[in-house]
Amino acid sequence: MSEWFGALRRTLDPTFLSSLMPDGSATGATRDDRPAMPALKMDPAQLSAIQADYWREFSDLMARCSAPPADGLALADRRFAGDAWRSPMYAIPAALYLLNARCLTRLAAAVEADAKTRERLHFAVEQWIAAAAPSNFIATNPDAQQRLVETQGESLLAGLRHLLADFSKGKVSQTDETAFELGRNVASTEGAVVFENDLIQLIQYKPLTGTVFQRPLLIVPPCINKYYILDLQPANSLVRHAVEQGHTVFMVSWRNADETLADKQWDDYIAEGPLKAIEVVRQISKQSQINALGFCVGGTLLATAAAVLAGRGERGAKAPLKSLTLLTTFLDFSDTGILDVFIDDAHVQWREQTIGGSNGPCGLMRGVELANTFSFLRPNELVWNYVVDNYLKGQSPPAFDLLYWNGDSTNLAGPMFAWYLRHMYLQNELKQPGRLTVCGVPVDLGAIDVPVYIFGSREDHIVPWRAAYASTALLRGPKRFVLGASGHIAGVINPPAKQRRSYWTGDALPASADDWLAGAEEHPGSWWPDWHAWLASYGGRRVKASSGYGNVQYQPVEPAPGSYVKAKA
């Protein structure tokens, strides 16, 4: 696991982590020259209370272990849910682990330090707690030992094979990747690539209704992932849902950057991405205005492009966009949630100097590093349970389309990524009118005067929902904010047929997100119908669906899903 931990360490602040690593390996520092640990203080009374609680719980645990039946310990943790964990030999160490984990978490929370240090300390403690679980080691995992006996050692050999295969990939496998094929059982909505340049392919999807809305819908997905999270399988495809509702849908498919694209800047991603896609879609559809949707970083790119167009004087009736939808999107980076632990000036400078072309080479932000970083944001769910199943028990992970997508990494051009880190995450300049110049135009989000549908997910750990709500204060046009249940992906991918989860709506948009939620109304099921009802009002009249793709200027290049999405990082 050293390679994965190494990637995690490099992503965190080198100064902070060097104080945690025994050999200073995070920065290459020696024990003598590594930076000192920031001064940490704790209220003595609070420390005494934590210690007293710990010894009381410890004494109670020992008493329960001594009294018959000793195998009656209740371990309220699914990692220790199997019957084999009820044996005192395994139950007592597991119970001690849980007790120590609670104590360490309380100690980290009690530290008196600046917010950044507290966040990083909590994150580091969480990582080590997750890694130290007795379930992660075959010597202390009775379920793995039982499987070893039952398979006469075959599970151990299979686990070693899985481990070696994953080392070659640089990541822990989360699903059976052989079960999926792009264009066959994922990214399978019928369509054709009608345009391509260095950075994108533009897909036009085949209509599924006799008539369609006059104005088409352009979707800009995040460039840090493959687009088909929005087109996994027919039952959970937002693309197919939109097509079935009568929209002519176009999708941006970002190219998986290689060394030939290593010098691409943020401006290139804007100009060759959403700006070019908007131009092509308008020409193919023969519409002066279109609707557009951006998801996550795709929303940030799309909103920036819309601000560039407004800065060029293309606003009001001249605006190329009739409406804008932003799904779990940052425009105001004041609250970046758990991702804040990764960002400070030292880290951004390091990225600039190693891959960003600032006094150093242009390089690539490797997709596998991003994927591993996001997995370690939820270490028990996305890392260690697969370590246990894949390596200790020798089981192959089941086929799951969402996790297949999650492991299909995308590389980014280093200069673009470094610019994004500095000007968005670190300096939060996108929300400041005129502070940034993109494609030669000062960016002012307030100049975007089109109707906007803003969606946040309530348990989103990538784009906290209050940060998504903050966009309502930056955009000038009519706005609708909708809050969905669940997280960054599951909150968005919630098809109506499943009748799962819920969402909240509220017409008033007060300054405080919490005030909005207090007055919001909860609705059962998917938010997709609410969005479509809103979008339909900007679709224009219904016209006969086209029987072909593209036009004379933009001829079909190849069938969907295209070749860019198939390139591996």
Q: For 234-245, what is the mean pLDDT?
A: 97
Checking if the pLDDT of 364 tops 90, the result is: yes
Q: Per-residue pLDDT for 11 more than 60?
A: no
Q: Given this model, what pLDDT does residue 38 score? A: 57
pLDDT for residue 360: 79
Domain ranges of the chain: 2-151, 191-557
Q: Which residue has the higher pLDDT, 31 or 309?
A: 309
For CA atoms 431, 433, 434, 438, the dihedral sign is positive
For residue 95, what pLDDT is reported?
93
CA dihedral sign, ordered 29, 30, 35, 40: positive
Q: How far apart are CA 423 and CA 351, in angstroms?
A: 13
What average pLDDT does this structure show over 201-223?
98
- The H-assigned helical ranges of 180-334 are 238-244, 266-270, 276-285, 297-311
| Residues 430/352, Cβ–Cβ less than 8 Å | no
Q: Find the mean pLDDT for residues 305-332.
A: 96
Gyration radius of the chain over CA positions? 26
When pLDDT is cut at 50, 70 and 90, the band that residue 75 belongs to is confident
Weakest mean pLDDT among 86-100, 193-207, 254-268, 294-308? 86-100
Q: Residue 220 pLDDT > 80, yes or no?
A: yes
477-525 tens-digit pLDDT: 999 999 999 999 999 999 999 899 999 999 999 999 999 999 999 999 9
What CA–CA distance (Å, rounded) separates 189 from 187? 6
Task: Give the fold, CATH level 3, of 191-557.
Answer: Rossmann fold (3.40.50)
Residue 16 exposed, middle or buried by CB count within 10 Å (0-12, 13-18, 19+): buried
What is the pLDDT, as a whole number, of residue 2?
38
Measure the CA–CA gap between 47 and 43, rounded to whole angstroms: 6
pLDDT at 72: 57
pLDDT score of 81 more than 60: yes
Q: How far is CA 135 from CA 130, 167, 213, 453, in A?
A: 10, 21, 55, 45
- Asked if the model's pLDDT at residue 293 lies above 80, the reply is yes
Backbone phi, then psi, for 17, in 5-degree steps? Answer: -70, -25
Mean pLDDT confidence for 407-422:
95
Q: Please choose, from the candidates 382, 216, 212, 391, the residue with its C-alpha nearest in 3D space to the C-alpha of residue 289.
A: 216
562-to-40, 227, 557, 559 alpha-carbon distances in Å: 53, 11, 8, 6
Q: How far is Cα 435 from Cα 442, in angstroms, rounded to an integer?
A: 7
40 Cβ neighbours under 8 A, 6+ residues apart: 111, 112, 113, 117, 121
Mean pLDDT taken over the chain = 90
Side chain identity at residue 175, one-letter code: T
Decide which of 316 and 187 is more confident: 187
In 3D, which of 174, 451, 173, 430 has the Cα closest to residue 316? 451
Dist CA 470 CA 254 (whole Å): 27
d(CA 229, CA 407): 11
Rounded to an integer, the average pLDDT of 332-361 is 91
3-state secondary structure of 447: helix
Contact between residue 401 and residue 233 where contact means Cβ atoms under 8 Å apart: yes
What pTM does this model have?
Answer: 0.89
- Amino acid symbol at 140: T
Cβ atoms of 155 and 148 within 8 Å: the answer is yes
Catalytic residues: 296
Whole-number pLDDT of residue 331? 98
Q: Which residues contact 151 (CB under 8 A, 6 or more apart)?
A: 394
* Displacement of CA 216 from its chain's centroid (Å): 27
Measured CA angle at 125 (ends 7, 403), to 5 deg: 50
As given in the structure block, the two tokens for residue 404 are 């297949």
